[in-house]
Structures are given as C-alpha cells and as structure tokens.
Amino acid sequence: MTAPLGATSEVGPLQTVLLHRPGAELRRLTPRNNDQLLFDGVPWVRRAQEEHDAFAAELTARGVEVLHLDRLLAEVLAVPAARDELVAAAVDDPRLGATLQRTAAAHLADLDPGDLAGTLIAGLAHDELPGGRGLAFEIMDRGDFVVPPLPNLLFTRDSSVWVGGQVAVTSLAMPARHRESTITAAVYAHHPRFTGAEQLYDASLEHLEGGDVLLLTPGVVAVGVGERTTPGGAERLARRVFARGLAHTVLVVPIAQQRATMHLDTIATMVDVDAFVMYPAVADSLAAWTVTSAQVPDDDDTTDLTVTGPAPFLEAAAAAMGIDRLRLIDTGLDPVTAEREQWDDGNNTLALAPRLAVAYERNTVTNAALEAAGIEVVRIAGSELGSGRGGPRCMSCPVSRAALPGSPGAGGP
C-alpha cells in the first residue's frame, strides 16, 4: 500500500521521495560550458553515480520508498499527450529557427519512450541529429546542443515541492533549468502514481524554487527570497496556500543574492520539530516578514494579505508555530570553517524523521555538533555530487511524509 501524497513538515517521517540518478547529462559538462550549466566543476560521473546510489540505498534501508524521475518520465512518454508536450518544450528555443525546430521535433517524436526520456535529460548535440537542416544547424559547431542537457535535474527539490496534499511545480529562475519544470509537470500530470494530485503552482508564474520553501510545521511555510525566488513568487505562493487552506502563515525570508546562498536551504534546515542547523554567519541577522490573511480566502490570486515585520527569523518562526522558542544548534565553527562547510552544503540536511538527518560526510565539524545535540547523522559521500552546489535536501523531493504526532494528516494543513 502506497503512502498518501503530501507533506506538512520538514521532519515528519519520510515515506516516499523523488530522486534523479545522475547520468549521461553530467558527461556533457566541460570546462567550456559548466558555468552556463550551473556546475562549479566537471564531475567524475561514475563516482557521482556511486555516491547517489549509496544515498538512495541509505534511504531504502530506512524504509523510504525511492521513486526515480527518469523512470517515471519514460513511463509517461508512452502517453501521447505527455510526449507531445515534452517534445514541443524541448525545441521551443529561439536559437534554433523554424527549420531546425521542425527537424529536431521530428527526430524526437520517432524515439521510443526510453530513448526519448534519455535524450530529453541528456540533451541532443548537433552531430547526433540525423538529417538536421536549417541555417542555425549549418552555423552550429558539431558539439553545440540543439537540445541542451539538464545536469541540474539531480536536484529534484527545486522543480517541485508538496505543501499539504498539493504539489507546486515551480518556476525556475535560471535559463539552464527551465525545461526541468516541464518534465516534472508532465510526470505529475500524466503518471498514474499521481492521479488526482492537485497542482498548486506552475512554471508560468513568478520565479519560485523548492529549495527556498521550508514547511516548518502544519500550517506554517517559510519562503526564502534571493537569487532564485522573487518576492512576487513568495507572495503568489502565500495567496494560494491561504486560499486552499494549506497554511495560515507564510514567513518571507530575504537571503543574500549570491551563488553560495542561492536557496534558503543552503543556510538553514530543520533537524527536529523545534530545531534548526544554520550557517553561523547569518544566525543573528536572518529576518522574516510574517504574511497572513485576515479574510476568508476564496480566490487563489486576489486574497488580501497582511504583512508584518521584519523580526528575527527564529522568533517569527516560533511565534507562527505556536511554540516558545526554536533551538538553534550551535556548530561552534570558526568563520573560515563555517564558510567552507556552508559552501559544501553542511546546512543542507535531509530529515528522515525528527532527530534523524542525512548529511554529507565531509562536513565533519557540523556533523559532530549535530550529534552532540542529539541528532543522529546518516553520513553520505558527496565529493562529486556536490559540484553542482547541492546537498541531501537539494537532491530529494519528499512526495510523502507521515504527519507528526498531534498534527493533521499529511494531506491537510
């Protein structure tokens, strides 16, 4: 029996998670294109796969059902409507021109579901397109991409997030990631595993990424705004969760607009019902605006909002959660070590349950501090996976979490 879809917290026992095992798309990375494709280096692909397999195995060993995005994608590509949507999205690129768009679409349409899934993820290079025609095709170098690869699909947290029993397919900010949302949307719309799932958000709306969304407790959502998520995206999400009864408070948390802090979960994640691990450099300065709605909401996008603040983040969060205080686990890091471990995703933990979290093994000081505070740490390797600047939380989209004791079920606020 499968668990009900949805999540209402960051730390409820994890039941089902969506991952993407890195593959041929990582082999497309070169020193010439890795910056454009948002990687800080060129990873050793086989080792990255071994690290990801070990991550998935740790989850499975603890009773978590692991869904693989590429397998779900191949299955939905047997559905004509999904195939048409994704082929059209793959060639919807002004670089190509009409002739090359038609040629590429015809080639993709002839592929079987498995091969098409692989191509949509790994991309299609100029010299891999038989019968390519058009001015753009002639001018391209042989290694240029007709359909660019999606190496960041590894970070499944960003393109969708479940709030209660509804899924927000997000609007990714960076051009290199736009097609990820089309793939995620097709899987949720067409795969029988997600039949009846209601969509909370979509890629046509203001920029909003899942790494910026934290479910603090049933009814309380924190949204970081910075490099990837805009204030407009946070506002749109707030209106929608209020109108649909999925939350009563949204905390909007400004973060530095830089790559090291691209998402809220790069600087703070929950490891217990009342505890955060946080980058020490922001612990005293992180603030939040509290967003609520006084009216009885009846429309997704016109609900009147009340905004108060700013206030220190931990104080605002505790007040919204109805508790006296939130614990901040003191990692005891000196400034240099703190900066290094934050860069290596030391604060990007994935909670499997209260006081049980997955973390990269390389962040030895942070992990030791977590254990000293009573948090069991499941250590995984990430020397190659981390080259895209993402940790265990970034690499996982919880599809189902059990409700915490005393809280409503996973499908409700």
Question: Which pLDDT band, with edges at 50, 70 and 90, does 192 fall under?
Answer: very high
- Residues with Cβ < 8 Å from 200, sequence gap 6 or more? 163, 166, 167, 168, 237, 240, 241, 244, 246
**224: closest CA among 168, 167, 289?**
289
**158: closest CA among 168, 147, 144, 146?**
168
pLDDT above 70: percentage of residues in the chain: 90
pTM score, two decimals?
0.91
Give the mean pLDDT of 146-167: 94
Residue 341 has pLDDT above 70, yes or no: no
pLDDT number for residue 237: 96
Catalytic residue among 394, 402, 403, 404: 394
Residue 260 has pLDDT above 60, yes or no: no
pLDDT number for residue 266: 86
Give the mean pLDDT of 16-32: 89
The mean of the pLDDT values for the chain is 89
Give the mean pLDDT of 101-116: 96
- In tens, the pLDDT along 268-326 reads 899 999 999 988 778 888 999 999 998 766 667 777 899 998 999 999 999 999 999 99
3-class SS string, the chain: CCCCCEECCCCCCEEEEEECCCCHHHHCCCCCCCCCCCCCCCCCHHHHHHHHHHHHHHHHHCCCEEEEHHHHHHHHCCCHHHHHHHHHHHHCCCCCHHHHHHHHHHHHHCCCHHHHHHHHHHCEEHHHCCCCCCHHHHHCCCCCEEECCCHHHHCCCCCEEEEECEEEECECCCHHHHHHHHHHHHHHHHCHHHCCCEEEECCCCCCECHHHEEEEECEEEEEEECCCCCHHHHHHHHHHHHHCCCEEEEEEEECCCCHHHCCHHHCEEEEECCEEEECHHHHCCCEEEEEECCCCCCCCCCCCCEEEEEEEHHHHHHHHHCCCCCEEECCCCCHHHHHHHHHCCCCCCEEEECCEEEEECCCHHHHHHHHHCCCEEEEECCCCHHHHCCCCCCCCEEEEECCCCCCCCCCCC
Give the mean pLDDT of 110-114: 95
Residues in the chain: 413
- In tens, the pLDDT along 222-245 reads 999 988 899 999 999 999 999 999
Residue 411 has pLDDT above 50, yes or no: no
Per the CATH hierarchy, to which homologous superfamily does domain 152-401 belong?
L-arginine/glycine Amidinotransferase; Chain A (3.75.10.10)
pLDDT number for residue 309: 86
Give the mean pLDDT of 165-183: 91
Quote the tokens at residue 377.
């740490």
Domain boundaries, the chain: 152-401
394 flagged as catalytic? yes
- Residues with Cβ < 8 Å from 260, sequence gap 6 or more? 266, 342, 343, 389
pLDDT number for residue 346: 60
Question: Which pLDDT band, with edges at 50, 70 and 90, does 365 fall under?
Answer: confident
- In tens, the pLDDT along 26-47 reads 888 777 777 676 666 777 889 9
Burial of 181 (0-12, 13-18, 19+ CB in 10 A): buried
Cα angle for residues 127, 154, 361 (degrees, 5° grid): 130
Give the mean pLDDT of 341-363: 82
Distances in Å between the Cα of 290 and the Cα atoms of 144, 222, 308 are: 47, 9, 5
